[in-house]
């Protein structure tokens, strides 16, 4: 599956400028009060790098650096960012330039089922909205990123 339109829209470094519901999202994922408050204080950047026809490397920097490779060609096993094992189904819609990742916990994992959608803001393609939802817990978090640089 080709990631048509990815490079000109998402590739590069993004800076978190605003969030809504992040504390509730972190709490639903089992993070205690002190850790949640530290996470909310950190400057967050996300770098998206295309790797071949069907993969995107995601480097998220907060208090720690989290690296993952999203594979848009097949379901794969990964980590939810909280050291819990998950299965991921990632999709790319070239017409809307939307990325979507649906995750389910692997048996025995403490992970939560989630849906993460990334889309460009319609009035400013240098702004990205990331919506993270835990459907089984009725929790949604919105994070707004501004593009800092191209690759």
Residue among 98, 89, 97, 80 nearest 134 (CA): 80
44-84 pLDDT per residue, tens: 999 999 999 999 999 999 888 999 999 999 999 999 988 89
Residues 6+ apart with CB under 8 A from 103: 78, 80, 86, 87, 88, 89, 111, 113, 114, 115, 116
Token duo for residue 77: 């096993």
Does the pLDDT of residue 151 top 80, yes or no? no
| In the chain, where the domains are located | 6-149
Please state the pTM of the whole predicted model.
Answer: 0.92
93-129 pLDDT per residue, tens: 999 999 999 999 999 999 999 999 999 998 888 999 9
pLDDT at 62: 86
CATH architecture of the region 6-149 = Beta Barrel (2.40)
């Amino acid at each position: 599956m080709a990631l048509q339109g990815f490079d000109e829209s998402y590739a590069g470094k993004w800076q978190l400028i605003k969030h809504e519901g992040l504390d509730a999202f972190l709490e639903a994922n089992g993070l205690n009060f002190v850790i949640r408050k530290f996470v909310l204080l950190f400057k967050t950047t996300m770098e998206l790098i295309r790797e071949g026809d069907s993969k995107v490397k995601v480097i998220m920097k907060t208090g720690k650096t989290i690296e993952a490779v999203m594979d848009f060609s097949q379901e794969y096993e990964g980590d939810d960012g909280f050291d819990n094992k998950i299965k991921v189904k990632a999709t790319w819609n070239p017409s809307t330039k939307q990325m979507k990742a649906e995750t389910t916990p692997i048996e025995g994992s403490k992970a939560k089922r989630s849906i993460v959608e990334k889309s460009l803001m319609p009035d400013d393609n240098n702004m990205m909205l990331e919506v993270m939802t835990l459907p089984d817990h009725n929790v949604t978090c919105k994070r707004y990123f501004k593009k800092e640089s191209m690759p």
